[in-house]
Amino acid sequence: MKQFVKALPEEGPCFEYLTAKFPSLSDAKLKEVIFIGPDIRKLMKDDNFDETMNRNEEEAWTGFKNVVNRFLGNKKESNYKFIVDNMLQKYMILGCNMSLKVHFLHSHLNYFPYNFGAVSEEQGERFH
């Protein structure tokens, strides 16, 4: 999310929509991408946000949503490598910088377990 928002032009309709959607955040905080999980989920469900984007922005945003929904959830899909690679390609086209976290995700895809986000609290057990 951070790389996506940083790649948006500040005068563009997409960034202006974010400014209007989160009026309590200053432009500086928006540019530094101070979003929490509920804010990101709210944006992912917002169809109006998608309408403010140009083609490249929309493809990168769709790639991000696919990674969140189809890789970072409780079960990752069998084509998770394609999903992550697709997001990274769309981010590259948009002009996003690859952070260390994203680079780590990309280079260590084979090490993520199948039940990546599963949580169990049986008999005091807890694993994430």
β-pair partners for 127? 120
Q: Is residue 26 part of a domain?
A: yes
Q: Is residue 121 part of a domain?
A: no
* Single pTM value for the model: 0.77
Number of domains in the chain: 1
Q: Which two tokens stand for residue 94?
A: 């948009």
The answer to whether the beta carbons of residues 76 and 84 sit under 8 Å apart is no
Domain extent for 17: 2-110
Q: Is residue 119 part of a domain?
A: no
At residue 65, the 3 state secondary structure works out as helix
Tens-digit pLDDT profile for the chain (128 aa)?
888 888 888 888 988 888 888 887 776 777 677 777 888 888 889 989 989 999 999 999 999 999 888 887 777 788 888 988 899 899 889 888 777 777 777 777 776 655 555 555 555 544 44
| DSSP structural state of residue 119 | -
